[in-house]
Amino acid sequence: MLSKTKLAFLVLASIFYIGAGALHFINTQFYLKIMPPYIPYHLAMVYISGAAEIAGGLGLLIPLVRRAAAWGLVALLIAVFPANLYMATDHIQVGSTPTPPALAWGRLPLQAVFIIWVLWCTRPAK
């Protein structure tokens, strides 16, 4: 059983991941621009990662698979880290205005925050 606080953070995480996953299909060009050149099948990878985020976000809402969904999202966050790193190190411009370096670099430690968040809010009370 989750506390009310954990449940609230769980629902926020679910909304976050479903929304982020949907953006892979809505704004595909953004994600294609930040794909490192050494990753094959860029378009497929964008769609697969988007679908995985949506599935993980939905899975967080299902108690039977909640913890597995959390670990799947952890794996996904680790898998997409190279794209975030590429965006920061190669100064990739994804919009009409350049991304400030502080924002591009700031996304990197956020991956750890997202990992801690999803694992914390899915850990059952002892």
* Mean confidence (pLDDT) of the chain: 93
Which residue blocks in the chain are alpha helix, DSSP H?
4-26, 28-33, 42-59, 66-89, 101-122
Does 12 map to a domain? yes
Alpha carbon separation from 54 to 7, 13, 107, 114 (Å, rounded): 18, 11, 20, 15
Residue 114 belongs to domain spanning:
4-121
Does 98 map to a domain? yes
Does 27 map to a domain? yes
**For residue 1, what pLDDT is reported?**
80
pTM to 2 decimal places: 0.91
Does 117 map to a domain? yes
Count of structural domains, the chain: 1
Mean pLDDT value of segment 118-122: 96
Q: Distance between CA 52 and CA 42 in Å, rounded?
A: 15
46-105 pLDDT, tens digit per residue, is 999 999 999 999 999 999 999 999 999 999 999 999 999 998 998 888 777 778 888 889
Q: Distance between CA 14 and CA 37 in Å, rounded?
A: 30
Q: Is the pLDDT of residue 124 over 90?
A: no
Does 126 map to a domain? no
Does 99 map to a domain? yes
**For residue 101, what pLDDT is reported?**
85
Does 25 map to a domain? yes
Tokens found for residue 61: 């809402």
Does 101 map to a domain? yes
